[in-house]
Structure 1
């Protein structure tokens, strides 16, 4: 049955037979993307999302995303010529370390999901966190992006930039920024 297949896939405009021959719209399952890193704020945001969003929407699909910088981010340009060089062994070592860090971060995130009996998938995206996460939520057709806030003050945010601020203005879906509790902020 064609309508049922579309409904199962969560395709936009999917319809299901109501048993009497009439079709009714089927709600698309909510896809929640949780951006994660190694911070406690990120852990708090994942926990909050699991308790307050995913638990309330049992059909929600959760994707845990971690952004890692490209290895060339760590290789500095040589002189004014814009040339960059790093010994191949050093580049490979950096790449392996980044992969291991990403694996550990995602494993911790997925363990938390399993503890709460929530199925989740994981993905690593490469590049500047702001742009990489923004592109990932668009590619994944996310219905909601959840991330933690480090609680930077105005001056630090101006110098360091704020991933949560950037994503709240540029992501293609609603963004939920989970702030740390007052006890965690201290």
Structure 2
């Protein structure tokens, strides 16, 4: 089985990964841990950002890059420590679109994602990655909600 697991560094994503390892993982599975960076989304909803201030934009970008590197390092270590046949990949853009696209590229048989449990208003305004993936993926999607 080829499994794509969306990882954003949140507790919810880590819980989904742990659930997969406990209940689904088999040694012969091929696992892709996917982290997607979307700089536009972060800048659009960062209330501390003053529009047009290049220094604050640069600081926000650097902070996001630092967090993404930490997530990737953690996921690479996780694969190695657990002797998983797989890889950690980082892409850029809309997370939902990138998850669905990468699942198609690797011919995934299952997509796993966590759920932040956004309220109706936040989900309507911000969108929900897991909702997008559920409605656009060609393979089963498991959304872990803890």
Shared fold per TM-score greater than 0.5: yes
1:1-186 superposed matches below 5 A: 30-54=1-25, 57-70=26-39, 74=43, 97-180=63-146
Deviation at 1:130, TM superposition (A): 1.4
For residues 110-162 of structure 1, the C-alpha deviation after alignment (integer angstroms, 9 at most, x for no partner) is: 33334433243011111011112121111221111111011123233222221
Normalised to the residue count of structure 2, the TM-score between the two structures is 0.79
Larger radius of gyration: 1
Q: In the superposition, relative to structure 1, how do residues 160 and 113 fare at CA in structure 2: closer, same or farther (>3 Å)?
A: same
- Structure number with higher relative contact order (C-alpha < 8 Å, ≥ 6 residues apart): 2
Aligned length: 140
| Cα pair 1:67 1:127 within 8 Å, conserved | yes
Q: In the superposition, relative to structure 1, how do residues 156 and 61 fare at CA in structure 2: closer, same or farther (>3 Å)?
A: same
| Cα pair 1:34 1:46 within 8 Å, conserved | yes
Q: In the superposition, relative to structure 1, how do residues 92 and 153 fare at CA in structure 2: closer, same or farther (>3 Å)?
A: closer
Normalised to the residue count of structure 1, the TM-score between the two structures is 0.64
